[in-house]
Each structure stands twice: as structure tokens, then as C-alpha cells.
């Protein structure tokens, strides 16, 4: 089907979803049919296209032709304007029980245009325990025409009671050749650049596209991968950590500044700021103080999430670097994600033992765990840099 054409290297998942979409079409007249279920869980590593697969499946469910990719229904799904598609993405560190209950109420409505009401819940693993329990109740007893599409890195990231009630669709990391082909044919990227980006991104299509088309992204990658050879002393470790954290903070600020201002302005208008009338403006703004405080908290949480994601992306770049070092130390005949830095890889491979390289990888993974546990980023990254040097 046309809506599944952009799912690179996911032939098995596409076959399952295509059959289910066909069964859903047959089930419209006589209830749910075989192969169609009310709850789906899309899992796979970063870059595998979990959300893309879920959205394509939503289009296939809502399209009169089962996902033609050309009609108004399909177009509305992909631009996010279809009235029967509720798309949710946690912007902060977690998704609260209050937000989940509001989502469940919206999910209970009947379809207005399409045959189904579809709830696409990206990053469902960010739901708090209370939110997950509320979600479980909704999945256990859904309205007859509501379909839940949950996305998470792995099935174990969700409560077993939730995943046991979902049909799981496992997505895989696309091959380098497949990603390079997509960049070259759909984005008109020169073949050599497409190959470099696909290899460096390790199958992550979004990351590969950014590397191929954005020089700033390439410069940031070079800065991160220059860290291993720069750690010549304690002072250099502290400086490298400071640069890494500062870069993440700047990216978070750049990504949220305009959005925060617009959200705050709209909320102030909603509560009457700028309205005319004796005592009207002051009273309404004061009444919205609680809403403004709640918005500020959400904005701070969103900025923290973006900062953490930026740091995590940099740490994964370092993991890929040391993994390549380890491959060279063992003489493994595998594709190197950072083959463009082969000289640096070779120098470090000769200067260290495989055991030391493994300890460095462990130090990076431990830093990721500390950041996830809300340890101060500067302290966590400094400790990692010192471990990488030693």
C-alpha cells in the first residue's frame, strides 16, 4: 500500500499491518474481524520509524481505500489534521495521569469522518505509573470503534499488563544501503554523502537526513567525536564536559524560546490580558495565574527533556566511536559507523587494550543512566570524561 512505502527495510511489519488494515475494512460492516485488534504496540530502536509506521497504519485504517496515500483522508493523517486521529507526544520528562485521563475521555468519542477513532501515543514509555494504570483500563475496555497505537523502544518499557493486551509490531534498524538509497532518491543527496550519512547515523533515517542536509549537524558531530583525542588532562576533561552540557542547553533554549513565548502569549490572551472594561483585565489575569504557573512547569520540563535528549544523542555518538575502536582491536570485519575518522580510531585502538575500551563504553552508558536518574548533568558528564581519559 502507498502509505507504507516510506517504511524503509520493514517488509515484515508492512505485511502484518497491510493484512490488518484489510481486515479492518472488512470488519466495519460486521464488527471486528480476524487480524484486527483494538490496541497495537510499535517497538524498535531509535530511527527504526516507530511513529512513522503507526501513522501509516492510522492512515490505512482511516482511508476508504485502505491507505492509498493520495486521498484527503491520508493527507489529513500525515499533516496531523484528521479529526478522527488523536496524536499525542509527551513533551516533558513524563506523561501525567491527568493528561492520560483527558486523553481517554477524548478517545471515547465516536468517529466523525473515518471508520475508526485512532489514538497515536508516541513515547508511551514516558507515562508515569499512575498514567499507565489509567491507560490500562482504557485499553481493557475500549469503545467499539477506537484503536490505540502505542509506540515505545521495547515491549519491556511498558507494563506487562498493557503489552499483553496489545499486538506487538517489531521494527528493525534499516540497512545502511537502504537508508542511503532513500536519501539519494528522495532527497537528491549525492551518493557519497548519502552513504556517509547513512553509515554515521547507524540506520537512523531522521539522523541520516539531518547529517546529509544540515552542515550544522555535521559540525556538532565532529565536535563530539573530537572529544576522545582531546582528553589529555583533568582540565581538558572538565572543559570538554562543560562544552557538551552548554551545547545541549543552547539547543534546548533555541528549540523552546519561540514556542514558549507563543504559548504564554496565547494563554494570557485566553485569560483576558489586554481586554477592555473596568477591572476585567486584572481579574482575569489573576484568575489565570495558576494556569500560567502550570504552563511554566510544563515548559521547564520540556526544556529539560530536550537538553537530556541532546546530551544522550552525543553520548550515543561516543559509544559508536568506541565501538568502532573495539572492532578494530579485535579485527572484526564489520562496517565502521565512523569510517571517516579511521585515523583517530586506529590511533586509539593501538594506544589502548580492548578491556580499556570496554570500560570506556561502560562509563558512557553509566553516564546515560545517571542523567536518566536526574543526576546533575555537569557532574555526570565530568565523571564520564575522567573515566574516558583514565
Confidence of residue 320 (pLDDT cuts 50, 70, 90): very high
Q: How confident is the model at residue 262 (pLDDT cuts 50, 70, 90)?
A: confident
pLDDT recorded at residue 304: 85
Helical ranges in the chain per DSSP H = 11-30, 50-62, 72-79, 97-107, 129-140, 160-163, 176-186, 191-201, 205-213, 215-225, 227-230, 234-270, 280-287, 289-330, 342-351, 354-372, 377-389
Mean pLDDT of the residues in the chain: 88
CB distance 7 to 53 below 8 Å: yes
Phi, psi of 148 (to 5 degrees): -100, 130
- Picking from 353, 347, 343, 345, the residue whose alpha carbon sits closest to that of residue 323 is 345
The predicted structure's pLDDT at residue 209: 92
Domain extents in the chain? 10-170, 176-213, 234-273+298-388
What does the pLDDT average to over 65-79?
Answer: 89
| 346 has a pLDDT exceeding 90 | yes
Tell how strand 167-170 and strand 146-152 pair up.
unpaired
Is the pLDDT at 352 greater than 90, yes or no? yes
**What are the residues facing 88 on neighbouring strands?**
121
Give burial (CB, 10 Å; 0-12/13-18/19+) of 313: middle
State how far the Cα of 267 lies from the Cα of 280, in Å rounded to an integer: 16
Max CA separation in the chain (angstroms)? 80
Rounded to the nearest 5 degrees, what angle is found at the Cα of 74, between the Cα atoms of 67 and 167? 55
CB contact set of 303 (below 8 Å; sequence gap of 6+): 252, 253, 256
Q: Cβ neighbours of residue 386 under 8 Å, at least 6 residues apart?
A: 234, 237
Angle, vertex CA 99, rays to CA 94 and CA 100, nearest 5: 90
State the average pLDDT over residues 140-149. Answer: 88
Whether the pLDDT of residue 273 is over 80: the answer is no
Looking at the DSSP bridge assignments, the partners of residue 40 are 149, 167
Average pLDDT rounded to a whole number, residues 160-189:
92
Q: Is the pLDDT of residue 278 over 70?
A: no
Which of 98-107, 256-265, 311-320, 327-336 has the weakest average pLDDT? 256-265
Q: Give the Cα separation of 200 and 117 in Å (integer).
A: 39
pLDDT in tens, 179-236: 999 999 989 999 999 999 999 998 888 899 999 999 999 999 999 999 999 999 999 9
Plot region of 95 (φ>0 → left; ψ -120 to 50 → alpha; else → beta): beta
User: 128-137, 286-295, 307-316 — which is least confidently predicted?
Assistant: 286-295
> How do residues 94-126 score in pLDDT, each as one tens digit?
888 998 999 999 888 888 886 899 999 999 999
Q: Report residue 92: phi and psi, to 5°.
A: -95, -160
The alpha carbon torsion through 337, 339, 342, 346 (nearest 10 deg) reads 40
Task: Copy the grid coordinates of residue 155.
Answer: 515491549
Q: Whole-angstrom Cα distance, residue 334 to residue 203?
A: 14
pLDDT on residue 385: 96
pLDDT at residue 33 greater than cutoff 50: no
**Residue predicted with more confidence, 150 or 22:** 150
Which pLDDT does position 27 carry in this prediction? Answer: 64
Percent of the chain clearing pLDDT 70 (strictly above): 93
Least confident stretch, 140-144, 262-266, 377-381: 262-266
By the 8 A CB rule, do 252 and 385 touch? no
* Contact assessment for residue 208 and residue 198, using Cβ atoms and an 8 Å cutoff: yes
Q: Are strands 117-121 and 39-43 parallel, antiparallel or unpaired?
A: unpaired
pLDDT at residue number 40: 95
pLDDT category at 283 given cuts 50, 70, 90 is very low
Give pLDDT, residue 77.
92
pLDDT the model gives residue 376: 93
Distance (Å) of CA 19 to CA 15, 76, 377:
6, 22, 46
Architecture of the domain defined by 234-273+298-388: Up-down Bundle (1.20)
Q: Is 359 exposed, middle or buried (0-12, 13-18, 19+ CB in 10 A)?
A: middle
- Asked if 52 and 5 count as a contact pair (C-beta separation under 8 A), the reply is no
Q: Which fold has domain 10-170?
A: Rossmann fold (3.40.50)
Question: Which of these ranges, 144-148, 204-208, 301-305, 372-376, has the smallest mean pLDDT?
Answer: 301-305
Residue 276, helix vs strand vs coil: coil
Confidence check: pLDDT of 287 > 90? no
**Angle (CA) 5 6 12, round 5°:** 65
Amino acid at each position: 500500500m502507498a502509505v507504507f512505502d516510506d517504511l524503509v527495510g520493514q517488509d515484515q511489519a508492512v505485511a502484518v499491518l497491510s493484512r490488518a488494515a484489510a481486515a479492518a475494512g472488512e470488519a466495519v460492516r460486521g464488527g471486528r474481524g480476524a487480524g484486527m485488534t483494538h490496541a497495537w504496540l510499535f517497538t524498535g530502536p531509535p530511527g527504526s520509524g516507530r511513529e512513522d509506521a503507526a501513522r501509516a497504519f492510522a492512515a490505512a485504517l482511516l482511508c476508504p481505500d485502505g491507505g492509498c496515500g493520495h486521498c484527503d483522508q491520508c493527507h489529513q493523517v500525515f499533516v496531523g489534521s484528521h479529526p478522527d486521529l488523536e496524536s499525542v507526544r509527551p513533551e516533558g520528562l513524563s506523561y501525567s495521569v491527568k493528561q492520560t485521563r483527558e486523553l481517554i475521555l477524548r478517545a471515547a468519542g465516536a468517529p466523525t469522518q473515518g471508520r475508526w477513532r485512532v489514538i497515536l501515543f508516541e513515547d508511551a514509555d514516558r507515562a508515569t505509573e499512575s498514567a499507565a494504570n489509567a491507560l490500562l483500563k482504557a485499553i481493557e475496555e475500549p469503545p467499539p470503534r477506537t484503536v490505540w497505537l502505542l509506540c515505545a523502544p521495547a515491549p519491556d518499557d511498558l507494563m506487562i499488563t498493557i503489552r499483553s493486551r496489545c499486538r506487538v509490531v517489531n521494527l528493525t534498524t534499516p540497512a545502511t544501503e537502504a537508508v542511503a538509497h532513500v536519501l539519494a532518491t528522495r532527497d537528491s543527496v549525492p551518493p557519497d554523502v548519502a552513504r556517509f550519512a547513512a553509515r554515521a547515523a547507524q540506520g537512523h533515517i531522521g539522523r541520516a537526513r539531518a547529517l546529509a542536509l544540515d552542515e550544522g549537524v555535521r559540525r556538532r558531530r565532529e565536535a563530539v567525536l573530537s572529544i576522545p583525542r582531546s582528553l589529555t588532562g583533568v582540565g581538558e576533561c572538565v572543559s570538554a564536559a562543560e562544552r557538551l552540557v552548554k551545547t545541549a542547553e543552547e539547543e534546548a533554549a533555541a528549540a523552546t524560546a519561540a514556542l514558549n513565548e507563543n504559548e504564554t502569549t496565547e494563554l494570557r490572551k485566553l485569560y483576558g490580558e489586554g481586554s477592555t472594561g473596568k477591572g476585567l483585565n486584572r481579574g482575569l489575569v489573576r484568575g489565570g495565574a495558576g494556569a500560567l504557573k502550570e504552563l511554566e512547569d510544563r515548559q521547564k520540563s520540556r526544556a529539560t527533556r530536550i537538553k537530556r535528549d541532546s546530551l544522550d544523542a552525543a553520548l550515543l555518538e561516543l559509544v559508536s566511536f568506541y565501538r568502532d575502536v573495539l572492532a578494530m582491536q579485535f579485527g572484526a570485519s564489520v562496517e565502521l559507523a565512523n569510517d571517516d575518522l579511521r585515523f583517530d580510531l586506529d590511533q586509539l585502538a593501538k594506544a589502548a587494550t580492548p578491556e580499556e575500551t570496554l570500560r570506556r563504553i561502560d562509563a558512557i552508558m553509566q553516564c546515560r543512566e545517571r542523567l536518566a536518574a536526574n543526576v546533575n548533568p555537569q557532574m555526570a558528564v565530568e565523571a564520564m570524561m575522567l573515566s574516558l581519559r583514565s
